[in-house]
Amino acid sequence: MSYQAPAYPLPAVEPDAPEDLLTAFRTVRAATEALCSPLETEDYVIQSMADVSPPKWHLAHVTWFYETFLLKPFLNEYMPLNETYDLLFNSYYETHSSPFPRPRRGLLSRPTVANVYRYRHYVNEAMGRLLNNRPSQHSKAIAERVCLGIHHEQQHQELLAMDIKHILAQNPLRPVYSKRLQIPPGRQPVPMGWHAYEGGLVFVGMKPHSVDFAFDNERPAHRQYLEPFELATRPVTNQEYMRFIEQGGYQDPALWLSDGWHLIRENGWTAPLYWVRDGAQWYHFSLGGWRPVDASAPVCHVSFYEADAYARWAGARLPTEAEWEHSATHARNWHGNFAESGYLQPVAAEAVVPAGDLRDPPLQMFGDVWEWTGSAYRPYPGFRTLSGSLGEYNGKFMSGQMVLRGGCCATPARHIRPTYRNFFPPSARWAFSGFRLAREANE
């Protein structure tokens, strides 16, 4: 079967009725299992690199999250199915216990896949009991944590798509994740234009008293001054990136940051991840198998270093995250190619207005590819972590990473918003990551 992401509005921090929260919980849990349903048992246990986790581990970890932060503190007489799971499926919460090392998750042949599903269903049943009879004195805290858990599981749905793709790509048999994925439509390229913004003093981050869910790293809202700038009306396409390759972009050290130049030479990078050239034709590995590269689709699976080098080659730069958010907040259409579209790969932009028409904001701000920005992942002014072990959720990673914005083709649509801050090391390429260009105004 193909993956069908949940089409439902996630609850606010305090839903109107307990059944709303339980429905949302059950829907997101079912969606994760639907995403894994095309896998063979052997696929669940592979760890293809240190950054990838076996699908079995993802299924267990998101379950551990509900057990640790909801069932143990709030459900009287809750008894864990297996006490050792607390060690095996803790991701990085050092204040809670000693997590099992991430690079060794692929060594865990036990518990079996069947036992991991048994664990999920055991916790699901216990969560039903908790949410059907929430202790009144803890009702708000439970609602907040369930909402966090739902968004956390949606993050892992995207990670599952990324990791499954990387796992299958290592196999010379070129296995197909699912033959029921949608085939991207063939579209003519949309010419790239520039949309001008006046800049000035703008708000960045989730505003106070908003009922919308936000992670702690999206708060607090704060003012930031922007110089006038222009943003490309769509992401850089595969065809444009091919020109960068053909014109020696990977051979010119003047285009690259020092760390990036060292990285591409050490690893032999000459094209985006999953690209293979056969004569004059480029092919790429997708979750639907090997396919010709769609020249009109956004380039994907490039690192920050590659995006930055291309921008320099093109005489432009990457936008800051504040510029990106300011542009996205004024976009009229937040719809895009998300997980619900059924492609699980970027698709070409569809022209809405004539090229160069500045009446509408840029295309494809949401979905298709996470867009690298030129901003380091750092806390906003006044940032405060959550209390207890949940304070490790985001804050501890605010070093050595770059911010990406907008979601991708594997992101659940209800999971994204203009203020959402994703982050990866600048060398990361297995994410569905691309970029668009920016430049100072009137250049």
pLDDT over threshold 50, residue 16: no
More confident residue, 26 or 97: 26
More confident residue, 335 or 124: 124
Is the separation of the CB atoms in 389 and 99 below 8 Å? Answer: no
pLDDT over threshold 80, residue 18: no
- Residue 97's pLDDT is what? 81
- Residue 397's pLDDT is what? 82
Interatomic CA distance for residues 10 and 58, integer angstroms: 21
pLDDT over threshold 70, residue 4: no
Least confident span in 3-17, 123-137, 357-371, 419-433: 3-17
The residue-averaged pLDDT of 258-285 equals 97
Interatomic CA distance for residues 321 and 229, integer angstroms: 13
Is the separation of the CB atoms in 177 and 40 below 8 Å? Answer: no
- Residue 395's pLDDT is what? 78
Phi, psi of 223 (to 5 degrees): -90, 145
More confident residue, 8 or 346: 346
- Residue 210's pLDDT is what? 74
The residue-averaged pLDDT of 424-442 equals 96
SS3 58: helix
- Residue 116's pLDDT is what? 98
SS3 26: helix
The residue-averaged pLDDT of 347-359 equals 66
Per-residue pLDDT of 230-253, as tens digits, reads 999 999 999 999 999 999 999 999
Burial level of 100, CB count in 10 A (0-12/13-18/19+)?
middle
pLDDT over threshold 50, residue 1: no
The residue-averaged pLDDT of 176-202 equals 93
Calculate the average pLDDT of the chain: 91
The residue-averaged pLDDT of 33-61 equals 98
- Calculate what percentage of the chain has a pLDDT beyond 90: 81
- Residue 95's pLDDT is what? 78
Per-residue pLDDT of 394-428, as tens digits, reads 778 899 999 999 999 999 999 999 999 999 999 99
Interatomic CA distance for residues 151 and 19, integer angstroms: 18
Q: Which helix (H) or strand (E) holds 44?
A: none
- Residue 298's pLDDT is what? 98
Confidence band of 76 (pLDDT split at 50, 70, 90):
very high
Q: Which domains does the chain have, with CATH numbers?
A: 18-169 (1.20.120), 194-440 (3.90.1580.10)
| Single pTM value for the model | 0.94
The residue-averaged pLDDT of 83-99 equals 88
Interatomic CA distance for residues 291 and 273, integer angstroms: 14
pLDDT over threshold 50, residue 14: no
Least confident span in 154-168, 176-190, 273-287: 176-190
Q: Is the omega angle on the peptide bond into residue 111 within 30 degrees of 0, that is, cis?
A: yes
Burial level of 283, CB count in 10 A (0-12/13-18/19+)?
middle
- Residue 149's pLDDT is what? 96
pLDDT over threshold 60, residue 109: yes
Q: Is the dihedral of CA 355, 357, 360, 365 positive or negative?
A: positive
Confidence band of 94 (pLDDT split at 50, 70, 90):
confident
pLDDT over threshold 70, residue 222: yes
pLDDT over threshold 80, residue 441: yes
Give the CA dihedral 365, 224, 10, 127, nearest 10 degrees: 130
